[in-house]
Structure 1
Amino acid sequence: IYKVNDVTLTEEELKMENEYAFESISKRQNTELVMDCMICESRDKFKETIRDLYGKNIMFAYSRKLKPNDVYCIIIGEHCWNKEKYFTRYDFECDNCGLKFHSYVNMPITLSDWELKWDLLSQTEQYKNKKFCCNQCKNRWLANEKCKIAQISDGQNVWVNRGDYKSKDVVGYIYKITKKSTGEFYIGQTMYEPMFRWAQHLATDRFDIKGILDYQYETIEIVYQGDNILDREKYWIQKYYKENPKLSLNIMQTANLIDDRQLKIE
């Protein structure tokens, strides 16, 4: 049984960043009055009993048309005889943020077998009982733990995600690839850690990984918030093109070059 909250409280709850597990719209927006099990001879008899207790106007579904302080009932199941299974409250504590939360089903968010084996290097006994209030907390905890394992387990392979290196202050990077034997070069930009873009280039025909000893890959600028990464890429493409036009492998941004004074690096 739920009571509809006033508009102000509903709007505040909707601003919550985390989508916590096991919470329906009713639990997120309204107030739970009763969670219990009632055995009746029929669905109609159940509704009749509820109307006797809470008034004839009680609804048996949530609707946006309901006004604050209206009461409604959600029927979980018509054959839900196992009261211990469906109506026992289980309390948990999130291993990431420490939030204490509960569920009526003993199934908190936990680590998958794949995460235990590959992300945490099969340290199942140490991590199998970790519990989280939401997927966001689980992902944050997992990223931090993977970094710790990487520092401890020298020489072991740990999966690296390009999103792990994102910084709120950095827009991206400008990089340069030089072919040592010919002096040819290519200028590019990436929003992620440059090593990930380098790996993508090595998967192409132009920069075959078999010839990796003939390439020099370098980051020539970190682009911070407030700067346009495409403008900074254009600056470097044109700068190097004007110095050695025959060696540039960049096709875009090299026509109708502008004066160096119009684009300056800080």
Structure 2
Amino acid sequence: MKSNSNYYWIRIFDYIYERDHLENEKGTMLDEFYLKGIADREEVKLQVRERYCSNSKENLRFAKPKKGNNGIYAIVMESTKFYYDRFYCQLDSICFFCNKPIKGKASEFPREFIGEGLFYSPNDDVFSDFNKSAFFCSNECKKDFNIVKRNNEGEFQVKEEGNDGNTFGYVYLIYNREQNTYYIGQTRFLPFFRWQEHIKSGKKGDISDLTFSVLANVNRNRSLTDDQNQHYLNSIESWWIQKYKLEQYNVSNITKPKITVEDLKDRFREMVEGQPLLF
């Protein structure tokens, strides 16, 4: 079914057949962004290629490499204004409940529908219309606003490798709404366990101010040793740290790891350093 909007969701993957062909995996995500106001997919492909340069631009495909082949490819999907705004819309306001200043990515803050009716309409500006959406500095303020007691009991997370061992590791993101800071880390195990450790330490902030997400799943390349797979995981973590810094996010990582996989070094220069900011 064709979308009636001109929004597109683009993801770029690094695909290595030996590592990623199991379970029909997509590969390791290197970039994600949205485009809007574009007439058709051919124009999208042109703009995606223009985002990069040199070899990455010339070799970028728009389908997963065929069996036995490696390469970089893009997945282009039709999207909507909601998802575009959720990805890009910034907030500079105050908490609807306690009036505390809040600033940062709007989708990272708790929100509540306050418009007429029961819920949002399809064309509502969910992340920018303050007559429809109330934003809060914390879940605590949202709970107080709704006068609802929620169950905070979490589930125990087992420390184990993901996808029955086919996933070698994860690169994850912790966003602190209070400080508008981003922390990027890696873990060999299911990320929930690592997030619990961060929460217990308290060094990344109060749990009510934090949101957690996975940036990239790194599949195990069974033709390589664990040390070699770890080498690649380290470089993907560095990729995302440097990408966020270049895109002018407030990154709280103290250490500055380097991309050491040669192919990724070249691709980072072509795909990240050589692209313009979209906002």
TM-score (normalised: structure 2):
0.33
Larger RCO (CA within 8 A; separation ≥ 6): 2
Greater C-alpha Rg: 1
Larger % of strand: which? 2
